[in-house]
Amino acid sequence: MVEWTDFERATIVDIFSKMQYEVVGPAALARCLIVYPWTQRYFGNFGNLYNAAAISGNPMVAKHGTTILHGLDRAVKNMDDIKSTYAELSVLHSEKLHVDPDNFKLLSDCLTIVVAAQLGKEFTGKVQAAFQKFLAVVVSSLGRQYH
């Protein structure tokens, strides 16, 4: 089981309580599709992903980015058992969506960078460590049901 310090718990709850989902979600997914273009392979039906401007302005990307970010809410509410919280989603990503689990890390790096820009100086090294630990647990849980 993952051990969380009081600081880590408080930090995660705080970040998500202030989260601007409709800004951060779309920005993180768009950045992932731009910086790691091979991730576009999973979004063949999203229309125009031809260049950075098209990706950033694509409404399907925006909608999906928001969806993904809200997907983290359950982990925030169940920090003591993220593994079983995401068991079903893990199966979905493996069996139905066929997403290479390496991509989860790419998206979480982009999310870290976008959240950093949002929080500015508040995103200290300690806060970053807590946030990345949280995302690492999420990523690990999402990859768990692959076989």
Partner 1 sequence: MTTLTAKDKDAVRTFWAKVSGKEEDIGTDAVARMLAVYPQTKTYFSHWKDLSPSSPSARKHGITVMKGVADAVSKIDDLKGGLLALSELHAFTLRVDPANFKIISHCLLVVLSIKFPNDFTPEVHVALDKFLAALALALAEKYR
With respect to partner 1, which residue has the nearer C-beta, 89 or 119?
A: 119
Q: What's the CA gap between 128 and 147, in Å, rounded?
A: 31
CA 94 → CA 24, 25, 27, 49, 73, distances in Å? 25, 22, 25, 24, 21
Residues between 60 and 119 with contacts to partner 1, criterion CB under 8 A: 109, 112-114, 116-119
Near partner 1 by CB under 8 A, which window of 15-23, 41-49, 91-99, 121-129?
121-129
Residue type, 34: I
Q: What residues contact residue 39 under an 8 Å CB cut-off, 6+ apart?
A: 32, 33, 103, 106, 107
Residues between 125 and 144 with contacts to partner 1, criterion CB under 8 A: 125-126, 128-129, 132
| 40 near partner 1, judged by CB under 8 A | no
| 10 near partner 1, judged by CB under 8 A | no
**128 is written with which tokens?**
């970053």
Please report, as ranges, the residues that interact with partner 1 according to CB under 8 A: 30-31, 34-35, 52, 55-56, 109, 112-114, 116-121, 123, 125-126, 128-129, 132
